A and B are shown apart, each in its own frame.
Chain A
Amino acid sequence: IIAFDELKTDYKNPIDQCNTLNPLVLPEYLIHAFFCVMFLCAAEWLTLGLNMPLLAYHIWRYMSRPVMSGPGLYDPTTIMNADILAYCQKEGWCKLAFYLLAFFYYLYGMIYVLVSS
């Protein structure tokens, strides 16, 4: 996800970059959706509530992706636009932070459950 930084600072070819990134997008979204479904099954309403906005965002993001034949999100022709690049970078950082926090929260939840039981 943070490969965008590379794109901005380093001079990697955007086509290659997009080709490596695009296949990763869908799995990421699917994994996240899978987690959400698991939370739903486990009736973890709080966690689910925390994750719902991101899920909605992912769905929206994928609906409004550029016209593409393959899976993925990033279009090598527009990715170099400063706005889009900055946006993607910001998105990457935010999601990284969210996933990290979520991971610790899940860990805490797990340990808490283990300890309490």
Chain B
Amino acid sequence: MSQPGPPGSGAAPAGLQARDGAAAASGAPYSNGPVHSAVMSSQVAVNQGYNSQLPGSYPHLIPAKTLNPASGQSHYGGSQGPGQTLHRPPVAANPVAPSLHSGPVPRTLVPASQSPAATPRPSGGFLPGASPLPPVNWQHSYPSMGSQMNQYPPAPSQPPVPGNTHLSTNHQYVSSGDPSLQNSYVKSGSALPLRNPPQPTTFQPGAPPGPPPTRVPPLEGGLPPVRALLPPKAPLRTAPQPSFNSVVNQEGITSNTNNGSMMARSSYDEIEGGGFLATPQLATKNPQMSRSVGYAYPSLPPGYQNTAPASSATGMPPSSFNYPSGPQAFPQTPLGANHLTASMSGLSLHPEGLRVVNLLQERKMLPSTPLQPPVPNLHEDIQKLNCNPELFRCTLTSIPQTQALLNKAKLPLGLLLHPFKDLVQLPVVTSSTIVRCRSCRTYINPFVSFLDQRRWKCNLCYRINDVPEEFMYNPLTRVYGEPHRRPEVQNATIEFMAPSEYMLRPPQPPVYLFVFDVSHNAVETGYLNSVCQSLLDNLDLLPGNTRTKIGFITFDSTIHFYSLQEGLSQPQMLIISDIDDVFIPMPENLLVNLNESKELVQGLLKTLPQMFTKSLETQSALGPALQAAFKLMSPTGGRMSVFQTQLPTLGVGALKPREEPNQRSSAKEIHLTPSTDFYKKLALDCSGQQVAVDLFLLSGQYSDLASLGCISRYSAGSVYYYPSYHHQHNPVQVQKLQKELQRYLTRKIGFEAVMRIRCTKGLSIHTFHGNFFVRSTDLLSLPNVNPDAGYAVQMSVEESLTDTQLVSFQSALLYTSSKGERRIRVHTLCLPVVATLNEVFLGADVQAISGLLANMAVDRSVTASLSDARDALVNAVIDSLAAYRSSVLSNQQPGLMVPFSLRLFPLFVLALLKQKSFQTGTNARLDERIFAMCQVKNQPLVHLMLTTHPNLYRVDNLSDEGALNINDRTIPQPPILQLSVENLSRDGAFLMDGGSVLMLWVGKNCAQHFLSQVLGVQNYASIPQIGTDLPELDTPESARMIAFISWLREQRPFFPVLYIIRDESPMKASFLQNMVEDRTESALSYYEFLLHIQQQVNK
């Protein structure tokens, strides 16, 4: 395709069209002055368009089910026909869906023909291949397409070849409209290997069906003539034409002229139709984002400086983040309040961007919709190429110029990453050379600048590099001479298939080793049953290929190995009782190929739970068992899953109980530091051999997680903790273990990974947070990487950035997939540099700041003490607000004045102070606290924020008003309430979404209707003490409730257990504990906290 970028995604030719559209959309001329008024009008339009719905909630992605389909349809039409929108503000205001149509369309086009789904079709060419697909499209998005087609057939951007746009939009819709695809990345990944064989056929429309020519270098000889053909055509075809057409035509050309060797040089594969990252975002984020008004604004002109802030607020182009949230839309010129106010439409529908908030007077600061990350104040072209904030986020979306300015702001500068998140769509590039800067090794990214056709300037070190010959040719569009249209330059998130120079050794096979504690205590808890059952169920779903290896070790005071040699009728157990000097009893057959010995493995898993029921051994030799496991795995590397139920008592690594329950309340003298460095050292050895250790701790008593956790922390594993696990007494934990284990076993995994973070010259990395081993100043060693792990990085400004406008951060994760491919996933984030304190404050991302502060506080509590960490958290708020007060605010008003962007800062910090990690008081057990700290370090930001500050919804009166529509399902969207008991009432039912847990609290006087229609019980007394299941009743109320809960669950990779709590339930305490705005025995209420801060700030 000639135009990888959607119209307006930064590619110049698109501008022509887009500009028109934008002018129409904003209903304003291009001049500066009226811009904001135009924006205002578009806001009004937004309101008009969605009058019938809840303000701000607009199911943009699923037009089919919009409550007022008429408006929805007209929107779609509107953007496609720029001319008409001029006269129809409401239409123009919401080009959301059209943006989807027109946006990623061009990208999806070619890949569509290339995607695995399309492979079975005959190689007859593009159009024939396309024809089977449109029906799908029509099923998924019939009304919207209908409106689009019917209403504006002559719309200029609806190209003369409608069939093809169908194909592309179709793809788009299939992928984005279906949230179930959210988690399907694994599948798409697993489909990858299939991809190559069919490529030649799919990519060479004209090629005769037959043995396709081999697609790698041998064919290079065939290229030059083709190239010679192409260049003259490329400009002709691409520039004047609307994007998809040219693509189509290009296809046509190639099918005529091409002899099928076009693919030879570098083949581009895109998973799932080759979308843009933005497309998956739309899909995955849809639920959260959809409330924002007018969010996708496809047709704003690139090049309109003055409309940029407005556009960033009223809506982002489809390929950008689509975060309309207001506080970040800055004026181009400092203090251009008009622009700002105009640009604020995101969260609350009224302009508030520059507003200074007096927190003491305005108490209802929590938005009723999920908080959106701020949008950097970047030129729109750049912004829409920028990385998704879910993957890569900075605490300050405007980077201060100097360290002095940063110090003055007293806000932490850092990045929060979720690099291996499951993505629905991810462009994957296979190319024999990966273009990187020659001096700093940065991967080429959308923010580099091309000086001319042949040279590009690195955006990190400013070195000028040559564009390699191969890069001149764009296999996606088959156009020569447009390096800036290559997918590498159009996507901020991209995955490369790494050639062999990125391997130190051949890619390792996936190796899974399970280490079970089978001492008396462990057998008592009965965990083996559920774990083995889960393993049996998911054995086929373990990510891997034919090389997958699996092994088992059990231990009590001795270590038991299991020989699973092929041909044995049953597994053979080998017992090593010499735990002082551990050795491996036999060199092979302890780790066996899963496919070859599957029956043996299944047999072992079935018998394992019964084998130790009579065991009276109470000792636990975890240390030696780990050593043995490490020895077993060290030749290959892989994942070790350790299940432990008590304090290790034997051999190396034995620990002593350190917790003193009586002293829990005193913040001093608690043992957060490890008592031995055995686990740390072992973890480092593991890390060196590419072994990651995941620890499952199912202990009732104190097990010194502070020491044990080191094994996972430095080997890039993860820790799971199930306090008081018991198969009969604690069914809730059993369910939790099963669900988490299922996710754990089936999720994607990357082996022998390293992650490097690069940033523009002048910035430097200060500290890393997360589970890994830091191997050099910017390199993390991650023996395993999993999609649920998040990382944080503290940055500092080393040199002044005065001579640069933009800074970029790039994270590159090199890993071996479970299929044995070496891959590199690259994320690039670009942010503006600002010179004044006010802009720094305006660009603050309060969630990211809280997340980074939490990470720093964990470090502080380990190195210093918990009370130090708590003080540091409070001081962080005080210092930054005091800095704001003294340096930015001119007139000293009474009250606690905060910038709008930081209005939730005190609340989040208070929530952190009340979180398990940092709370004082007697109710937190040491292990639980340490587990919470591990979670803070290891969780991605979204989940961390939910655990810290859960979302509270009232659910007894759910209605369809403002509901989302996804795939024929109506999902009600109740507003988020503040976490205060005053919002609870006895005659209601409330759902608290705490990330990994959902709690439904049913008030005592809850309406009978709700009890019978949703909970399926006769009266309040018959609600079980602890319920975890919601009956599926055949009532609309029940359907709504279930739709809502399952929608919440779909948003996260793991499965949060739902607890139904009534007034007398023991769980009620933990429900109320999350009411962070209220006063507790040991902590201040929100208002008191604000008063305290005010006192300190005004000093």
* A residues neighboring B (CB under 8 Å): 8, 11-15, 66-69, 75-77, 80-83, 85
**B766-774, B967-975, B1080-1088 - interface stretch:** B766-774
Chain B neighbourhood of A12, CB < 8 A: 776
CB contact under 8 A between A67 and B775, given known A15-B688, A76-B684, A81-B767: no
The 8 closest A-B pairs by CB, nearest first: A80-B774, A82-B766, A11-B776, A68-B677, A81-B767, A67-B677, A69-B677, A77-B714
Query: In the assembled complex, which residues on chain B have CB atoms less than 8 Å from the CB atom of A85?
Result: 777
Q: Using CB atoms, name the residue of chain B closest to A66.
A: B677
User: In whole angstroms, what is the CA distance A8 to B776 when docked?
Assistant: 8
Listed A/B pairs (28) with beta-carbon separation below 8 Å? A8-B777, A11-B775, A11-B776, A11-B777, A13-B775, A14-B774, A14-B775, A67-B673, A67-B677, A69-B676, A69-B678, A75-B677, A76-B684, A76-B773, A77-B680, A77-B684, A77-B714, A77-B773, A80-B768, A80-B774, A80-B775, A80-B777, A81-B766, A82-B765, A82-B766, A82-B767, A83-B766, A83-B767
Are A14 and B677 CB-contacts (below 8 A) given A82-B766, A82-B767? no
B796 at the interface (CB under 8 A from A): yes
Q: Does B996 contact A (CB under 8 A)?
A: no
B438 at the interface (CB under 8 A from A): no
B294, chain A: closest CB distance, angstroms: 43
Q: Is B764 an interface residue (CB 8 A)?
A: yes
Q: Which residues of A contact B684 (CB under 8 A)?
A: 15, 76-77
Distance A8 CA – B766 CA, assembled complex (angstroms): 12
Residues of A within 8 A of B680 (CB): 77
Separation in Å of the B614 CB from the closest CB of chain A? 37
Are the CB atoms of B767 and A14 closer together than 8 Å? no
Q: For the complex formed, measure the closest distance between the CB of B708 and the CB atoms of chain A, giving whole angstroms.
A: 14
Closest Cβ of chain A to B854, distance in Å, is 18
A29 to B773, CA, bound (A): 29
**Contacts of A75 on B, CB cut-off 8 Å?**
677
Q: Given the complex, which residues of A lie within 8 Å of B677, measured CB to CB?
A: 66-69, 75
B674 in contact (CB, < 8 A) = yes
Binding site secondary structure of chain A: loop
Evaluate contact between B796 and A82: CB separation under 8 angstroms: yes
Check if B675 is an interface residue, CB within 8 A of chain A: yes
B776→A80 contact, CB < 8 A: yes
Is B779's CB within 8 Å of the partner chain A? yes
Closest residue of chain A to B683 (Cβ to Cβ) is A77
- CB-defined contacts of A14 to chain B, threshold 8 Å: 774-776
- State in angstroms the CA–CA spacing of A31 and B555 once bound together: 46
Query: CA–CA, A69 to B764, complex, Å?
Result: 33
For the complex, what is the distance from the CA of A47 to the CA of B768, rounded to whole Å?
A: 43
Bound CA–CA A15/B765 (angstroms): 20
**Residues from chain A with Cβ under 8 Å of B674 in the complex:** 67
Closest to A15 in B: B684
Q: Is B681 an interface residue (CB 8 A)?
A: yes
Determine the chain A residues whose CB is within 8 A of the CB of B673 once the complex forms: 67
CA separation between A76 and B773, bound complex, in Å?
A: 9
Known: A11-B776, A77-B773, A81-B774. 18 other contacts (CB 8 A): A11-B777, A15-B688, A67-B673, A67-B675, A67-B676, A69-B677, A75-B677, A76-B773, A77-B684, A77-B774, A80-B768, A80-B774, A81-B767, A82-B764, A82-B765, A82-B777, A83-B766, A83-B767
* Bound CA–CA A57/B785 (angstroms): 41
Residues of B within 8 A of A69 (CB): 676-678, 681
Which one of A8, A15, A76, A77 has the highest number of Cβ atoms from chain B below 10 Å of its Cβ?
A77
In the complex, which residues of chain B have a beta carbon less than 8 angstroms from the beta carbon of A81? 766-767, 774
Interchain CA distance A11-B778 in the complex, whole Å: 10
Considering only CB atoms, which chain B residue lies closest to A12 in the complex?
B776
Complex interface bits, B677-719 against A, C-beta within 8 A gives 1, otherwise 0:
1101100100010000000000000000000000000100000
- How many angstroms between the C-alpha atoms of A77 and B775 in the bound complex? 9
Residue of B at shortest CB range from A18?
B684
CA A82 to CA B403, docked complex, whole Å: 15
- Docked complex Cα distance between A75 and B681 (Å): 10
Bound-state CA distance A69–B678 (Å) is 8
Residues of A within 8 A of B773 (CB): 76-77
State the CA gap A11–B756 with chains docked (Å). 13
Q: Which residue of A lies closest to B714 (CB)?
A: A77
Residues of A within 8 A of B765 (CB): 82
Shortest distance between the CB of A3 and any CB in chain B (Å): 14
Contact with A along B747-776 (1 / 0, CB 8 A): 000000000000000001111100001111
A8 to B777 alpha-carbon distance, docked (Å): 7
Which chain A residues border B688 with CB–CB below 8 Å? 15
| Residues on the B chain within 8 Å of A67, using CB | 673-677
**Closest residue to A80 on the B side, CB-wise?**
B774
Q: How far is the CB of A25 from chain B (nearest CB, A)?
A: 16
Alpha-carbon separation in the docked complex, A67 to B678 (Å) = 10
Q: How far is the CA of A32 from the CA of B113 in the complex (A)?
A: 74
Residues of A within 8 A of B776 (CB): 11-14, 80
Q: Which residues of B in the span 657-683 have a Cβ within 8 Å of any Cβ on A?
A: 673-678, 680-681
A81 and B674 CA atoms in complex are apart in Å by 19
Closest to B678 in A: A69
Bound: A83/B796 CA distance, A: 11
Determine the distance from Cα of A85 to Cα of B573 in the docked complex, in whole angstroms: 48
Interface mask (B256-267 → A, CB under 8 Å = 1, otherwise 0): 000000000000
Task: Give every chain A residue within 8 A of B678 (Cβ-Cβ).
Answer: 69
A66 to B764, alpha carbons, bound, how many Å? 26
Chain A residue at minimal CB-CB distance from B713: A77
User: Cβ of A13: which chain B residues have Cβ within 8 Å of it?
Assistant: 775-776
Residues of A close to B777: CB separation below 8 A: 8, 11, 80, 82, 85
Residues of B within 8 A of A66 (CB): 677
As a 0/1 sequence over residues 183 to 215 of chain B, the CB contacts with chain A under 8 angstroms (1 = contact) are: 000000000000000000000000000000000
A13 to B767 CA separation, bound complex (whole angstroms): 17
With A and B bound together, what is the CA distance between A12 and B776 in angstroms? 7
Across the interface, which residues of A come within 8 angstroms of B714, CB to CB?
77
Closest to B675 in A: A67
CA separation between A12 and B777, bound complex, in Å?
Answer: 10
* Interfacial chain A residues near B681, Cβ < 8 Å: 69
* Nearest chain A residue, comparing its CB with the CB of B776: A11
- In the complex, what residues of B have CB within 8 A of residue A8's CB? 777
Chain A residues lying within 8 Å of B676, measured Cβ to Cβ, are 67, 69
Residue from A11, A12, A67, A68 having most chain B Cβ neighbours under 10 A: A67
Quote the shortest CB–CB distance from B653 to chain A (angstroms): 11
- Give Cα distance in the complex from A14 to B781, angstroms: 12
Least CB distance from B714 to A in Å reads 6
> How far apart are the CA atoms of A47 and B988 in the complex, in Å?
79
Chain A residues closer than 8 Å to B764, beta-carbon distance: 82
Complex CA distance for A78 and B340, rounded to whole angstroms: 44
Docked Cα-Cα span, A105 to B684, in Å, equals 44
CA distance A104 to B766 in the complex (A): 38
Query: Chain A residue with minimal CB distance to B673?
Result: A67
State the CA gap A11–B773 with chains docked (Å). Answer: 14
Q: Which residue of A lies closest to B687 (CB)?
A: A15
Which chain B positions have C-beta within 8 A of A11? 775-777, 779
Which of A11, A75, A80, A83 gathers most chain B CB within 10 Å?
Answer: A80
* A80 CA / B681 CA spacing, docked (Å): 16
For A76, the chain B residues whose CB sits under 8 A away are: 684, 773
Residue on B nearest A13 in the bound complex, by CB: B775
| Shortest distance from the beta carbon of A10 to any chain B beta carbon, whole Å | 9
B622 CB to closest chain A CB (Å) equals: 17
The chain B residue with its CB closest to the CB of A69 is B677
Rounded to whole Å, the gap between the CB of A21 and the closest CB of chain B is 15
Q: Could you tell me the distance between the alpha carbons of A81 and B794 in the complex, rounded to whole angstroms?
A: 10
Contact with A along B945-984 (1 / 0, CB 8 A): 0000000000000000000000000000000000000000
**Closest chain A residue to B681, Cβ basis:** A69
A85–B764 alpha-carbon span in the complex (Å): 13
Q: Tell me how far the C-beta of A79 lies from the nearest C-beta in chain B, rounded to whole angstroms.
A: 8
Question: How far is A107 from B38 in the complex, measured between Cα atoms in Å?
Answer: 82
Closest to A11 in B: B776
Complex: how many Å from CA A40 to CA B688? Answer: 47
A51 to B442, CA, bound (A): 49
Q: How far is the CA of A69 from the CA of B779 in the complex (A)?
A: 26
